[in-house]
Structure 1
Amino acid sequence: TQGQVYTDYGGQVGGSVANDLTRLTATAGQALGSLAMYPAMDSVRQAAPMVMAFLKMALIICMPFVLVLVYRLK
């Protein structure tokens, strides 16, 4: 159409009721999804230091074995 531009990334110059319903449904779905995601991400955030501690412990325990196995006298 002459003289109209795209207003967003939707790819349609003129809006429609179907586009509005789709956008409203997507917004509601994202809101419901965030209700489940935020507590899950909080538990991951709380568990991350313990996971890092186990990884550091494994590295410290395994380092002497690695050094003994790769050491060669010249």
Structure 2
Amino acid sequence: MAHESLVIILSVGGSPLDRASLAELPEATVAWQRLECEGSAACVAACVRHADPSEAFGARIRGWARARGWTVTVAPSEPLG
């Protein structure tokens, strides 16, 4: 994977958000993640490695999250390598 991004996903009443949720994101690998939950709210912070350029990955993960009722923020890191 050539790129790495910091991803924050928020859920309040959407699809369940848990530690396994990012495993469903195609063509991406989770380097690390943290999960916090309180009542119906959940938040995942993760470092995700991906092959697509940062702009394309941001659009892709936003669409993936939106389909599940989640909100996502993406901050690209420096290219790996």
**What is the TM-score with the length of structure 2 in the denominator?**
0.21
Please tell me whether Structure 1 or Structure 2 has the larger radius of gyration of its CA atoms: 1
Higher RCO, 1 vs 2 (CA within 8 Å, ≥6 residues apart):
2
Which structure features the higher share of helix residues? 1
Which structure features the higher share of strand residues? 2
